[in-house]
Amino acid sequence: MSSPPEKLIALGKKADANAAEAKAAVTKAAAAKHAPAPSFPLARVAPGDRWFDYCLEPYRPRRPPAGKLRAENLLWYSLELAGLLDAARPPLEALQRSLGRDMTVFGVKTDGQRLFWELYLYDPRKEDPRATVAGLRETLAPWLELRPPVRESTPYMMVSFDLDADILARGRVDELNLYLTGTEDHAGRSYVVREDGLELANTYRFLSPKRDIDTVLSLLTSSAFVDYDAAPTTLAEVLIPELFACKKVCVAKKRTHDGVYFSGVDVDQLLWLLRRFPYPPALVAFAERCAPELDHLYFDVGLDLQQGPDGRVAYPKTGFYGTL
């Protein structure tokens, strides 16, 4: 295996190839410059809005935010493209009213075939009963039944669940994800909870992309799913140069693949992700049109990773995150 410096040099070499791929992807977005206008009024920054990343850690806006667009517009537009806005909006707005603006994290994800979504609710100190599973059951009861039983004495600091067309049609959530915080001795852990039990889903660690680079490289290359000796540019297909200029990197070890997350990227980096991976062209075009009014925000993005049949890194799922 090549040394870390050599691998980091490969990041720069891979950047040229990534730029070519991104340039080709622009054609996809160009074909959708006349994407349908949203049917909903765009949500704008209001007095009292707050600025959080996908861990609900606060940040200072990159630009003066007054009157600009909120990240939630990307969520609403993605749901509209999937034909799910009318079904999804009432329960999501109920969460927003119950917990407050910017206290619900959303993820917009694709597996290359479809869009789907995940909602994340935080209450690390168990201070707000509305953010517990019991509280969420009550808030969502008119639209969604949260089926899995959860013992509230479990020291979870976050709960999440997926949304897609089938879940909204059934009106039932069959799986919840509970997240337990990490320490210096323990990585963070998440468990998937169903009616018939629970199991470990993944472990994860948040790290500084510069200060903790040796730990990042060690965690990534200790992989059962990606062969970092397969090609000299493999690392650059994981620590993607266009995304690596971020505030934090999270390395996750999941049941069937690895994951890497880049926290604190700007809107240009978000656009790169949307162009590079198989997001609907209309969503790309909408994000491009809105970009000048999203430049005050930081976003978070994530990629699942495994070895593809051609030896290159494959991305079975990617996503981006904001607050509602």
Q: Is the dihedral of CA 121, 126, 130, 132 positive or negative?
A: positive
Distances (CA, A) of 54 to 51, 167, 198, 281, 289: 10, 23, 24, 25, 24
**Does residue 11 have a pLDDT over 90?**
no
What residue spans of 82-239 are helical by DSSP H?
Answer: 85-99, 133-140, 165-170, 213-221
Q: What is the pLDDT of residues 57-113, one digit of tens each?
A: 999 999 999 999 999 999 999 999 999 999 999 999 999 999 999 999 999 999 999
Q: What is the pLDDT of residues 210-250, one digit of tens each?
A: 999 999 999 999 999 999 998 889 999 999 999 999 999 99
pTM of the full predicted structure? 0.89
